[in-house]
Structure 1
Amino acid sequence: MEPDPKLLSLLEKVNNPIELFKIQITVKGVYGFAEDWKLTDETNPGIFANVVRYQGEDMFGKIKGRELTEREKFEEYQKNSKKNKKETKSPEEEEQMKKALALEEEEELKKQQHLGTLQEQDKLFFISEDKFKTISIQYEETHTIEIKNVRQLEEEILENRNFIYFIRQPAITEEELAKLKKGKTKNLNNAELTQIIFKGVFDLSDLLEPGCTRTTARAFLKQEENADCPKYNCDKMYVKVEIETEPALTPLVEEIPVLNIEPIIVQRIPSKFECVGQFQRDIKEAMKALDEEYSKLYPSDQKVKVSANLTVQKRQELQKKKESFLNEINQSGKYKILQDRLRSSIIRVCIDKFAKEGLFAGVNKDEQDRLFAELYVFMMEEMQTTLGEYVINNKEDIHEDLYQTYDQNQRDRDVVFQSLKEQAFKKFKRFAEQYETINQVDQALKYYTNMVLVDPKSATIFAKYCFKIQRFKAAEQLIQMVRDIEWNKENELLMACLYIRRERFKEATNIVQALLQKEPINTLFNLLMSFIYKQQGNQNMADKYLRCTQRIFMRTMGLLTKGFPKQQPDPHVLPNFKQQMIEQQEKAKKAPVLTQEQTDQIQLELIEYFASRSLFDLAEKALVNIKDKTTQKINIIKAQIHIFNENYAEAQSLIQKILNQNPKNYEVYLIKGALCYQTDQFYEAEETFLKALSIQHKRSFDILLRLGYLYLKRKSWQDARAIFERALDQQVPSNSSLTWLGLGISNLRLKDPIAEECLCQASIHEPFNGEVWGYQALNCLQQKRGQQAKQCLQRMEQTEVNDLDLLIELAEEMNKCQDFESCRQILMRVYNSKVKIPNMGQLLKNLGQVHAELRRKDEAKQYYEESLQYLESGNEKAKVIQEMKLL
C-alpha cells in the first residue's frame, strides 16, 4: 500500500512548521469598474489614488484606456493622410500595416471561436482582460509580503476570510480637498471626494496543494456600505492577481521515507524474581538487626500507652534518640556490616537489570541516567513497601519508638497530602482568618482578596472584615458586587446599614421596605425601619414601626389574647359610635403593657446586630433607646464602642468593671486581650489570654496563636515554643503555616536543629510567605550554607516581607559573609518599605557603609549625609563624618 502524498505533506508541515512565509504579489489589473472614473481622472489628474490592499500592503495603480486595434490605426491613418499629405507613409510601410491588419483579423476569428467554447464567467474574464476592448487599472510593481503567522493565513483561506481590498480615495491634502469642495470642478461631483472601499474574498486554495508556489487568482469586489459616498454600478468589478510564494505553503514530499518498524519491548524490573526476593529478605533482616540494637540502647517499655498523635515534645525526644542511635551504630562499625549485606543483593538486581539492557554497550549518557533513575525508584519503592509490611506484621515485637515514628510519619504524610488537596477558597479563608487573629492587616487583606477572586460570592465575608478595620467604602463595593450576583437577606441588611451611615436614608428605606414585603413580621426589619425614620427626624413613622415590633414581640411571647371573630353589623339598626369609642378605650386600658426590661430587650436585638457586624457607630446611636444602660450586655457593647472610637482608657476601665462583677466571662477576656495586644500592653495581654485559656480549653487555638506571637514580640523564645507546640497538638490537621513558622522562629533562636523542619513545614503549607523564606535563609546563613541561603533569598524577593527586623538581621549576616551586593539589596528593601522604620539613622549609616564597600562613593556620601539628620548621638555623627572624609 502506497502512502498518501498529501498526508506526507501535512506531516512534513507539522514536523517542520514554516517560520517565515514570503508572498510576491503582482496585480495584473482591476476590471469592470465605472467608466466615469477614467473621464474624472483625465480631467482632474492627480486627485484620486487607486489602491489595492492585501495583508496591510498597499499597491498604487493608474487607469489605462483601451488600446487601438490595427484596423482602427489603419482607418485613422487613411483619414489623416487625406487631410495632411505629409503624414503619408511609404508603400513598404503601408504594405506592412496591411499584413498586420490581416494577421489581426485571423487572431480575432480565433478569439471568437474560443469565446464560444467558454462559460459565462470565463467569457467575462476573457472580454474584460482584452486590452483592445475594455479599460483597466494597471499596476507596475511587484510587492513582497512577509507573513509569520502561517497558521492564521491557512485558516483564513479555508474559511473564506482571506480578503483583498480595492480603495479609491482622494490623494491630496485636507486643505486642497477643502478648496476643491468649495470651488467648481469639471466632471467631478463633491460626493465623489470621499473614500470608496470595495472588498472581495481572495481565493488562494491552490496554494494548499503540495508543492504549489505559483497561482493566478481573481476576486470579485463588492462596494461596502457608506452613506457618505455614492453607490456605483460595479457588479462585475474584479481584481486579477499573480502570486508566487517562498517556500510552498504545503511542502511536497518527493522522497517517501522508508519506515523500519522494529518491535520495542520495555522490560520493567520484575518484582518476584529471586534477586528481588533476596533484596526484600535482606531489608527485613537489616530492620530486625536495627531493632535489636535500638532496644539494647533504649530498653523497650511495652506498658507505655501508644498515643494516636505524637506531641511536639515527644517528637523532639524521639529525634534526639534517633541521632544518638545513628551516631552510636556508625562509630561502632555495625552499619558497615549491614551495608555490605545489602550491597550484595543490590548488585544482583543491577546485574539482572543491565543484562536485559545489554550492559553499557552502545548506551549513551542519557540512557544510562534513565536506567539508574529507574533502578533508584524501584529500590526505594521496594524498601518502603517491605518496611511497612515488616512494621505492621511485627507491631507487638518491635520497639514502641520505632512503631510510633513510622506511624506518625504515615500520618504526617497523609495530613500534608490532604492539606495540599485543600480547596483554594478554604485555604485562602483560613490564611486570612489566622492573619486577622495576629493583627497582620496587610496579609489578611491579601488573602481575603484572593478568596474573593476564587469565589466572588464570599465578598460578604471580606466586607465584614472591612467593617472591623473601618474600611467602609471598600465594604460597600464588595457588598454591591455580591448583590449584583445574587439576592441575599444578609447583604441587603448590610447595604442598608451602610446607607444609614452615609445618611442616604431614601436608599436604605427602599431596601428595608423590600425586605418587609417578604417578611412583614420580622422584628429586626421593623426595628431597623423605625431607626431609619428616627435618624431622619420623622418620629411618627418611627413610633409606628416600633409599635409593630412591640406587637410582634407580644404575640411571640403570648402576651396578646386571641381576638373574637368579627361580627357583621345589622343594616337596619343605626350604630352607636359614641358607645363603640368608649368600649375601645376600655379595651385599650385593659391591654397588656410591656415592661421597661421587655422594651430594652426589643431594642437590644438591633444593637446586638450592629455590634456583631462591627457597626459600632450605629450601635452607639441605637443605645439612646435603651432605658437601663447598666446591664452586662450593654456594658460589653459600650466597651467595644469605646475601642472603636479609640477611647482605650475608658474601654479598659469599663472592661475591668465587668470582670469584677463576673470574673469568668470568656468573651470579655477576649476583648480585653485583643485591646491590650493592639495597644502593645504585652504583659497585660499575656495575663488576660492565660486567664481565658483557663476558663475554656476547646476553642483555644486562636488564643494560643495570638499568645505565641505575643511571646515572639517579647522575645520570650521558651514560652513561645511551648505555646506553639500546644497549638499544633490542638489543631488537627496541623496545617497552620503561622503555627509552624512561630515554632520554627522560637527553635531557631534557641539554636535547636528542629527549627529547619518546622520552617520547611511552614513553606509547604504557605509557599508564598516571605517571612518563612527569610528565616530559612537566616538558618542557612547561621549554618554556613551560603548556596541554599541564596536560593531562599531569591524566593523571598518574590514575596512581601513586613518584618523589618528580619531583613536587617539578614543584611548583617550577608555583610559578615562579605556579600555586599546582597546586603545592599536587602537594606534598600527596608529603606523603600512603607512600614515606619524605627532607627532610620542607623539604617542610612549601614547603607552608606555598604555602598562604600562596593566603591559607589557618590551614593555612599548621599546616604551618610542623610543619616546625619536622624542620628542623635554625637559619637555616631563623628564616626559618619570621619567615614565621609575617607571616601
Structure 2
Amino acid sequence: MEASGKKIIIDEPVAQAEFEIEILGCYSLPEAWKPGENETQEYTYQVSFLGIQVNNGRTRKRELTEEEIKAAEEAKKGKKEPPKKKGPEAEAELLEEKKKNEELTRRGSQSSRYDDETLFFMTKEDIYKHPCITWEAENPSDARQFKTYPVSIQIEEMKLLELLDCLEDSGAYLDFARVPKTVEEESKKKPVKGKQQEEAKSSYYKAWINLSPFKEYGIVEQHLRVKLEDIEGDELSHTKTYLSIKLKFSTALFPAPSLNSTKPQDIIPIKPPPPKFLPSKDGTHDFQRQIKLACRAISAEYHNTYAEQLSETGHSLQRQKELKEIRRDEFLYYFNTSGKSQILKNKLRKSVVKICREKYKSVNSLKGLSFSEKDKIYSELYAYLLSRMQESIAEISQEKREILHEEPILPANLAEKEKQDDIADILGESYEAKLLRLALECEFKNDQIKACKYLTERTEKNPLSKQVWLDFTKYMLRQYNLPGAEKYMSEVISLSEDWTKEEYMLIACVYLSRKKYYEALVYFNSIIARDPEDILVILLLSINYSFLNKGPLEKYFLAKAKRLCMKHLGLAGPKNKQIEGLNEILLRYDEGKALTQDTLDDLNFTLVVYLINEKLCDLARLCLSRIVNKESSSIKFLYYSAEVEYWSHQYDQAIIYLDEVLKLEPRHHLALTLKADSCFNSNNFDEAQECYLKSIRYSKSSSSNLLIKLGNIYLKKSAWAGAKLLFSKCCEEQTNSIAWEGLGIACLNLSELDIAEQALTHANLMNDENPYVWASLAYLCLKQTQEPPGRYYQFRQCLTQAFRLGIKDPHILRNIGNEYTRKFFLNGTGPNSQRLDVSEVKIIYIQAKMCGADEEELRGNIEREFESIKDLGNNRLDQNLIDKIESAKIEVVNAVR
C-alpha cells in the first residue's frame, strides 16, 4: 500500500449500509379518516419504502387537555356548577387565569415569527388540537402519549444500487395503504343497532420522498414531511394530508473524499517539460554562415584541383581508395602551408568571440582562472562549436552534394543520418516508422535482442512521444515481460497530465497483473470518476477487490455490472438505457424476466477479449476461470483459453485446446490459424503448413503474416515455386523486407537471377542490417560470375558485411563456399593472380562450421566439390594442376576438422 515511500489512501464507495425509517405520524387527516364517537369500521395503515414495511398504524383521537378531562369527569358525575368563591381563594383563581391569558398572548406573538407552512405543521401536529395516525411502540410508558419506533433493514449490493438509482432520480415513492381489519377481527365486534354497516374497502396512496440531500457528502439523516397523493379517486385532492418521517443511514452514502487520497500523479509523477534554451542571437548565426561559406569554397577548390583524376574510373576499388587518401593528404598540406587555413581562422575568430560573450556572459580574459576551470570552459566551448559546425556541414552537404567531391569528409553520425534520409526519400518511409517496422520484423523472426535495440533507438530519437513508449509497452506484453511493460507504460503516463481511458486502463491492468493492487485502484477510480458506467473497469474493480479479500466491495461492483446490464436490456427502470460498453455485445438473457448466468458469462467473455488483445494473459486466464456455463459456449471458451496459452508461450497447451475446438467445428479458420502459428513456433512445420492451407481455404482470405510464415515453410522444404508465389503476393500488398527477402531467395534457387537481385536489393534497402540478405547477395554475385573476376569485388563487399553483421546460417555459407570453389579454382587465375589460393574459401567453410554445420557432412561436401573440378576439367588438366587441386582439397578439409 505504498507508492514512492507514501501510504496509498483510496476513497472506496459504500458497499453496504443499514437503513432506518421512523414514521412520526400522519397528520391533517381527511374527514373520512377521523375517528367518530361511534366508529363501527376500523382501519389499519401500512407504509412501505425501500423494502421496509411498517404495519399497524392506527388513528388516534385528539388528546384532551387536563381541563377538558376534568370537566368531562365532573359532567359525567352530574355535579352542579360550584358556587363562586369569594375572598383570597377567588383572587388566586383570577390571578391564575390572568397568567394563562398572558401565556396565550405570548405564544401568539411568537407564532408571528414563523411562516404559514411552519405554523400549519405546528398546529396539525399538536396532539391536543387534531387527530392523527400513529405507529406506536408496544407498551408505552404513558398511555396518553405515543412513542414511535424505528424500523431498519440492511441494504447490500443490488438493493444499494437501486437506492443509488433513486438518488440519481432525486427520490422515490413511498407507498401508503389504508386497509380494513381482517374479517376475523370484525366478526368479534357487535354491530351497532340502528346503523347500517359500511362496506370496508382498501385505498392506496403514495408520497414522493426527496432523497437528494443524501447525495451531499457526509449526510446520514433527514427529517421530512411528505404529502400523500391519491391513486384511486380524489378524496385527498383538497386536503393537505402528510407524513412526518425520519430517514437515517448507518453511514453516508457519499463519504467526504479524503484530502490525502492518492492521485495518479503521486504514483507516477509528471515529468517537467524540457528546459528551453534560447539560441544564440547573432554569434551562432555568423559562425554557421562562415562554416557554410568555407565548405563551399574548400570543396570547389578541391574539385577544381583534382578534376581530371576524379573522372578516372578504370582503377580497382582498392586503388581508388589509395588515390583518394593521397589526394586528401596533398590537399590538406597545401591548404595549411598556403596560409588559407589561417585566413579561415581569422574569419571565424570574431564569431567565436561573440559566442563566448553570449554563452558565458563575460568579456573578461581568462587570467586568474585555474587550469581545471580553463579546461572546463575550453571543453564546453569545443563541444558547442563542434555541434554547430556538424549541423552546418550536414546542411551544406545536403544542399550542394552535386558539386561536392566524391566523398565529403563528415562525422560518422552525420554520414549515417544522410544515408537514412536518402533511404527514407526512396522508400517514402520516415526513419521512425522504419525502426518500428524493423522491430516488428525482428520480433517475427524471434530476434528479440535486435527488436529491443530498434525500439530503444526509437525512444531515444523521440523521447517525448507517447506512442513510441506505448509501442514498446505492447511489445513487452507480447513477450510476457510484465516488469518491462510497467517500466515503459510509466513513461507514457509521466509525459503529460492529459490522459486517455486506454492509457489508464492499461497501466492499471499491468499493476493488477504485478499484484500491485492499490496502485491499480488509483487508476481504476480515476476512470470511474470520469465515466461511472464503464463496464470493463467495473468488472476489473470487482476482481481487484477479490484479490484484496474485500468481499462486500467485490460483490458491490459485480452487482453494479449486473445493474447496468439490466438497464441496457430494459429489465430495470422505465425504459432501456444504452450503455456504451454494451452496445456491441450480444448478451444472452430471458426476455422480459431477468439476467441469467449466461449473461454474466458474456460479460466475462467481453473482459477476456480485452485482456487477450492487450496480452494480459494472467488476468485473462482468471476471467476464464469465472465462466460457469462452459458447455453453452464451449467453442468460445476453448478458443480463448488457447489464445491465452499461446501468448503465454505455452504452445503445446494451446494446441491441446485448439484440437478440442476443431473437433467441435473443423472449419474454424481462426482456430486453424492459431494452431498453425503454435506449430510454427514449436518447429512443427509439416502440421503448421497443413493448418495454414486449411485456414486459407475456409476463410477465403489471409493476412500477410500468414502468407509469410507459409512461404518460410516452403523455403525450408525447398519448394521454391510455391514460396515465390506467396512472397510475390505479399510484396504487392505490403511493404515488408521479410517478403522481399523470401522472394529473392526463392528466385535465387530457381536461377531467376535478375528478379532475385532486384528483390534482394530491395530487401537490403529496407533493412541493411540483415546478414542473410548480404550473404545471399554475395552468393548471387558468384552465380552471375561466368569468368573471374566478374563480380568478385561486389561479392567481397557483400560477404564482408555478412560476416560483420554475424551471419549464422551454415547452409548459405556452404553454398557460397561451393560456388566459390567452382568459379575460382577451375576458371581463370583468381582475383589476385594467385592460382588455387584457398585462403578465402577456408574462411567461408570454417565460418559455416562455426555456425552449426555438421562437420562430417561439410567435409564430404568439400571433397565432392574439389573432385568435381577434376571432372569439369574433362582431362584437360595436367598432372601438376591435379596435384595442386588435391593438395588444396586436403588443406581445406583439414581446416574444418
Give the TM-score band, short-chain normalised: 0.3 to 0.5
TM-score normalised over the length of structure 1: 0.44
TM-score normalised over the length of structure 2: 0.44
Higher relative contact order (CA 8 A, sep 6+): 2
